[in-house]
Structure formats: C-alpha cells, structure tokens
Amino acid sequence: MKHYDCIFLDRDGTLNPDPGYISSLDDFTFFDYTLPSLKIMAGAGNRFCIVTNQSGITRGLIQSDDLDEIHSFIQQEFIKNGIPLLGIYVCTDHPEQATERRKPGPGMFLEAEMDHGLTLMDCLMVGDSTADIEAGEMLGMDTMLVLTGRGAETMNALPDYEMPTYIVEDLRKGARKLCH
C-alpha cells in the first residue's frame, strides 16, 4: 500500500468528465468511481489537494461565484465521504499571460506545500494533461497519468524522458494500483 504526504489531483478530466468549460454546478458531475476510489486511497492514509487551471474565469466563460459553488460542492462531497481534502488551489491565468501559478508552473504546489507543511518529493500528482505530468516531474513527485479526459492524447504527446510513474485507465485503476 503506497502512502504519500499528499496526492495532488487535477480536476477536469481526472475527477469529472471534461466537456469544455464547466460554468455551473448543473454541468458538474464526478465520474461514478471518483469518490469510491478516493475513499480507498484515503483509507491508506492519503490526503488530497486539488490543483486546477481555470482560465474560463479570465476568458469570461465562467463566473467566479459559479466556480466557488462548484468547489463548495466538491468540498462537501469530500467531507460527506470522509476524504481529507487539504485545499482546492485554482489558477485563473489565461495561458497567454500565465504566471508561475498556472500548471505546469509550481505556484499552486508551492502554496500548498507552505500551507500544509508538505514535502513535495513525497507527493503524487494525478492528472490527464501534459501540464499535470510536467508539474509533478519538475517538483520531484511521483506522477500518475489517467487516460480519462485528455489522458490518451497526452500519453502520445509526452516525450520519452517524461514518462509518468504510473499510467492507468482511470482513478479506479489508480486506487487499485496504489492500495493493493
């Protein structure tokens, strides 16, 4: 059973289907295996942070209040299921005016490290995009590429020197890999 200081989770395409910009809670739904899979990982002593790029805010496609409502719902679902969520870190930067906060930049991870006394090299980054894997690799974390969302296309785009620690079909298979 693998225990990490923290498991960083991408949001769209990893925890939930990614139809594009999710602009209201009505459009948000977890994959049916998300919460049961996270409960398994939490049972192994893992805790979580969500790190998500949400440029839809800057692009005017999502209202801040709607994003807050989605994230409040996520927090409530984690609490209801006994899944320790340390925080949700959001970067609203437009990709063309990206700061260090926008993945693959280290900003959100360094903020979580400071907020929660984490050791990033003892953490895992789980996501479906090149930016997720690059961020984890750059910070010395183990990485897990899920083939949901953009994961399959990401797998084909990653350079050989940047292979994830784990490549799994989805979060359910990732939980099995880590916890069995």
State the catalytic residue, choosing from 5, 12, 32, 142. Answer: 12
Strand-by-strand arrangement of the 7-9 sheet: 85-91, 48-53, 7-9, 124-127, 142-146, 166-168
> Both ends of the chain: CA-CA distance in Å?
6
State the catalytic residue, choosing from 10, 128, 132, 170. Answer: 10
Q: Is 12 a catalytic residue?
A: yes
Long-range contacts formed by 142-150: CB under 8 A, 24+ apart: 142/4, 142/166, 144/168, 144/174, 146/13, 146/14, 146/170, 146/171, 146/174, 148/13, 148/14, 148/17, 148/31, 149/12, 149/13, 149/14, 149/17, 149/18, 150/13, 150/18
Burial zone of 86 (CB within 10 Å; 0-12 exposed, 13-18 middle, 19+ buried): middle
Q: Is 4 helix (H, G, I), strand (E, B) or coil?
A: coil
Q: Is 10 a catalytic residue?
A: yes
Compute the Cα dihedral for 83, 113, 100, 106 and give only its sign.
negative
Return the active site residues. 10, 12
